[in-house]
Chain A
Amino acid sequence: MIEALEILLLSLADDDLLIGHREAEWIGLGPILEEDIAFASIAQDETGHAQAYYQLLTDLGLPTPDEYAFKRSASQFRSAHLVELPNFDYDYAMALVRHFFHDAAEQVRLEALRQSSYEPLAGLAERLLREEKYHWMHAHTWIRRLGRSTEEAHFRLRSAIDQLFPYAWMVFEELPMETEMVEAGWLPPSSELRQRWLEKVMPILESLNLAPTFPSEDVLLPMRGGRHGLRSPYFDELYAEMTEVSSADPDAEW
């Protein structure tokens, strides 16, 4: 069962590690000082959540959070491709929509994990939900406000939603060994979680006339496999950068 547990926790942790990393790229470049600060906090929280998930594995005698984050090979990652995407041309609509989709998913997962039969995870979920509350407040307020503002903002949101919705859909890709996890009472099936996620995001998007159509299998195909160790084309550059210092002198402590 330890193998299944590692798959589950790495999926959760890797998502948070990489989105925290991508969101941190905005620090000092945000659209206005106040938002720069708020988004930087969210990036920190996500990174901290990743660390906390890895730590549950460390507690079982597995590698440390730093080893998981900085010393793995690409195929050992279990992140969804959504969080690996670059901040392309620094379009804040893309950043906000990804944050909106991710934090809705995070909240849905954490709500479910509170009931997890794996107690350390249930306890952690309870704690992390505190920070998620603010993330979600921040995300949906921005989306609602921008969605009802200018034509340009609406256009940019629509374009970001169309691009990111299929990736977000694949956050709920079925996990390897999911049947065992569900039977053990760790969490509900991914398809069930996706349903709850849709119930969270769709009414907001519909009210703004921004609801996307559900993606077809063809569209989803290249976005598959994140949970199974298949990385997006953007991962290698991201990871080379993230580990540039730590790998330059592997014996060093920093």
Chain B
Amino acid sequence: MSNLSYEESKKKVFKGLWLLAGVTVAEVLISLFGKGYIGGDIAHSVSWLIYIVGLAIITLSIYKAYFIIYEFMHMRYEVKTLAMSVLLPTVLLVWAIIAFFQEGGSWKARRQQIKEKNEQPAKQEGMLQDDPETIHLWG
């Protein structure tokens, strides 16, 4: 547990409230700027700005997550091996994100091809042969 006195930790909690609220407001403002509601047409005219905006919002969200886990859920004051046993498995998700977003992007790029393939009739030679030796296995 923390070595802070009751009064100190009470103060710290309300500081946390302002921090989280401030970060959330910043996120919303950045998002609205990226969508062109604030700051006029800059967001629409500069094409790479949308990536900066996205990156900024994601970074702020991860900071919020870190703060909630380490301060509110007291992970900072737990044994380090406990923290690692909970946090390290989530690294697997990084791979899942890369893999599935890649998959989604490729699906979009091949939309036309997928549509054409779906419309083709099934080929005879691609089907299972009626082999008298094994047909009983298929019921």
- Check if A and B associate: no
* A interface list, Cβ under 8 A from B: none
